Amino acid sequence: MLIKLKDHFKKKDFFSNEDGVSTIIGFMFILASVALYTSVAYPAMVKKDIKNAESDALADIESKMLKFSDDIQSDRKGQVSFQLTASQKYSSTSVVGMVFSPNDGRINITTANYTLTIPTGMLIIKPKNIFAEDRTTAFQAGTVIEQQGKSYWSGAPSFFYISGRNVDAQVPVITGDYFSVGGGIKTLKYNSTSRTVIHDTNTNATIKIDTPYPLVFENMFKNDMNRAGFISPADYTFINTTNSVTLNLYNLDTIGIDIITWMVK
């Protein structure tokens, strides 16, 4: 009877049994694999999906903005719609993704006989989720500005047309109500063109742009001056601050300024 009881307890001793130990090890391995996946692999996949969604949404907006800018420069009348729905599903609706400020960004133009101040309006679109790359698309005075980290650049032409000593500018202005939203569809639509707001002859001109991207506009204007054959400092000079850039033009035959108005809804 004693021998039978010993045999019984040997069979119940799960932890000293090789099959039992193998089962525990296997279970622990599966548990560790699940923990590793949920703590490392899955969050990494989610972050990648979010970054891809944000990048795709911004790339789509950027391409539409560039087309919109080209339409402005070509004086075509149309509209462009854009949204951040691709990224919206990953982020909190309390986090802002698009901001339009109608009174942000101004152009001040002075000639011998005219002084004009134009509020250009500024549209800023940026990723909303903390996992997304640090990337912003801004739109001011017909210029599409891309920012990533501390670097920013423009992918659109300027609003200047220069021939000889004659300067013509079609200054794009965005009007509409201020908004700050996390998503949804917004549309920029052509509204009107005001011709010859300024037309002056045999004059100097000062064009100052208030903008958080002064280097973008300075580089853009420098390219315009170089293409026109203007030489600094005889034909033009720059004054650059952290939030504005001023272009001084000298000895122009004529300067003409038109305003193209677009509305955002």
11 occurs within a structural domain: no
83-124 pLDDT, tens digit each: 665 444 444 444 567 788 998 889 999 999 999 998 999 988
Structural domain boundaries enclosing 192: 45-264
14 occurs within a structural domain: no
Four-residue CA torsion sign, 218, 220, 221, 222:
positive
Cβ contact 120:114 at 8 Å: no
- Please give the pLDDT value at position 25: 55
Closest CA to 100 of 117, 82, 86: 82
- Please give the pLDDT value at position 17: 57
Domain count, the chain: 1
168-181 pLDDT, tens digit each: 988 888 888 988 87
Cβ contact 230:217 at 8 Å: no
Total-model pTM: 0.71
Cis check: omega of the bond before 119, within 30 degrees of 0: no
Strand partners, 210: 106, 244
229 conformational bin, left if phi > 0, alpha if psi -120 to 50, beta if neither: left
- Please give the pLDDT value at position 230: 94
Cβ contact 225:210 at 8 Å: no
